[in-house]
Amino acid sequence: MQPLYEERTTRRRPGWMWAGAAAGLLLAGGMFVGNSTRARTPVAANRPPGETFVASGTVLLGDRGSFVTDGHGGCSGTGGHADVQEGAQVVIFAGLGFAGGRLTDARALADGTCQFRFSVSGIPARQDSYLLMVADRDSRQYVEQELKSALLALRVD
């Protein structure tokens, strides 16, 4: 006589399979715990990547020995200030970024000074401090509010 149902035989899984499954669970659990306990940056501290501003102002050479006039109302630096001339670079460093512009509109003024204008756009906003350099000269430190001021004037002599 034959049995009504077939007797099932169970096969044992090898030990290395159980060890692999346990290692996988530990790894997944560790990744979950690591991500949930990591310190997060507050959303308010994240700045939009494109937030910038424009700084405009004047650069003055006030010592008669630091510039010459061209006879047509213009002027340019001379001697130790020969690099201060129309077209010279103005660079503002901010954190890891920077923005640049050029000196323009050189004018010899009636008060005996030589004045240049500049405008630098694309300056990264909300940085701790900014370094402004004119014509590769020593940089000067500013805060954002000073750079946004309508009366930004540098004297380089």
What's the whole-number mean pLDDT along residues 140-152?
90
Q: For the CA atoms of 21, 23, 25, 26, what is the dihedral angle to 10 degrees? A: 160
Average pLDDT, the chain: 81
DSSP 14-81: PHHHHHHHHHHHHHHHHHHHHHHHS----GGGPPPTT-EEEEEEEEEE-SGGGEEE-SSS-EEE-GGG
Nearest alpha carbon to residue 57 among 156, 153, 157, 155 = 153
Cβ neighbours, 10 Å, residue 36:
7
* pLDDT, tens digit (0-9, with 9 covering 90-100), for 18-38: 566 665 656 655 655 555 544
Q: What is the reported pLDDT for 44?
A: 43
The whole-number pLDDT of residue 157 equals 75
Give per-residue pLDDT as tens, 92-130.
Answer: 999 888 999 999 999 999 999 999 999 999 999 999 999
Query: Per-residue pLDDT tens for 34-52?
Result: 555 445 444 444 445 578 9
| Residues paired with residue 16 on neighbouring β-strands, in sequence order | none
| pLDDT at residue 22, as a whole number | 60
Report the pLDDT value the prediction gives residue 155, as an integer from 0 to 100. 86
